[in-house]
A and B are shown apart, each in its own frame.
Chain A
Amino acid sequence: DAGVIQSPRHEVTEMGQEVTLRCKPISGHNSLFWYRQTMMRGLELLIYFNNNVPIDDSGMPEDRFSAKMPNASFSTLKIQPSEPRDSAVYFCASSSQTGGEQYFGPGTRLTVT
């Protein structure tokens, strides 16, 4: 199994630009999670999906952030417009619906200048 796949691995963009992060969960996993990690705040949940349906987006910081999961094998996290304070590592994780273990992708390191 290839594990959770994220792209791009690194993204550098200018303030105001749109950024789209992509995630492919482990095949067969029904839950998908987007996290953000910074030195100051640690790992924070942004949003998660069960069976492609968004369940809890209370961690999404602002309307500038949006996430979709059009099918069981793909999800996107979009930031529009991006700001320097969005700079962080964004992780996608997946788990089987009844299990507790979450498997993390390699992360996307986003830098907004």
Chain B
Amino acid sequence: EDKVVQSPLSLVVHEGDTVTLNCSYEVTNFRSLLWYKQEKKAPTFLFMLTSSGIEKKSGRLSSILDKKELFSILNITATQTGDSAIYLCAVIVQAGTALIFGKGTTLSVSS
């Protein structure tokens, strides 16, 4: 059975800290891995990773995929209270198919 596992389940940090969120997967026919941020509403797209070793960056957020070890990390540097959210990792096993989601990591950033 395909599965996506995220760790830690929750994390509390202070503003300015750097955090690393983990996502490991066991799936057949891996195609892409995606990161989403969910605040109080719907998940919003952050990154899509398809190739190993290529870092994607957007401001203070960055992510990288390791297809050999079957995991990805999401880094957030200089965290702000606005980064508080649930971060979801999801995998696509074939184009045009549904996402398989992990349970998410709840990040709380205190001021």
Contact = CB atoms under 8 A, between A and B. Distances in A.
B56 to A, nearest CB: 13
Kindly name the residue among A44, A45, A55, A107 whose own CB sees the greatest number of chain B CB atoms within 10 A: A45
Contacts of B34: 100-102
B42 A104 contact: yes
Nearest to A102: B99
Interface in B46-96: 48, 50, 88, 90, 92, 95-96
B32 interface: yes
Chain B interface category by residue count:
20 to 34
Nearest to B46: A101
Interface string A63-80: 000000000000000000
A50 B43 contact: no
B98 A48 contact: yes
B97 interface: yes
A47 to B, nearest CB: 9
Nearest to B104: A42
Contacts of B101: 42-44
Chain A interface category by residue count:
20 to 34
Interface string A20-60: 00000000001101000000001111001010000110000
Contacts of B103: 42
A100 B41 contact: no
Given A42-B104, A100-B31, A106-B42, A56 B98 contact: yes
Contact of B96 (A50, A106, A107): A50
Interface of B: 31-32, 34, 41-45, 48, 50, 88, 90, 92, 95-104
Interface of A: 30-31, 33, 42-45, 48, 50, 55-56, 91, 95, 97-98, 100-107
15 contacts: A33-B98, A43-B104, A44-B101, A48-B97, A48-B98, A55-B96, A55-B97, A56-B98, A100-B34, A100-B48, A100-B92, A102-B34, A104-B43, A104-B44, A107-B42
The 4 closest A-B pairs by CB, nearest first: A104-B42, A43-B101, A100-B32, A45-B98
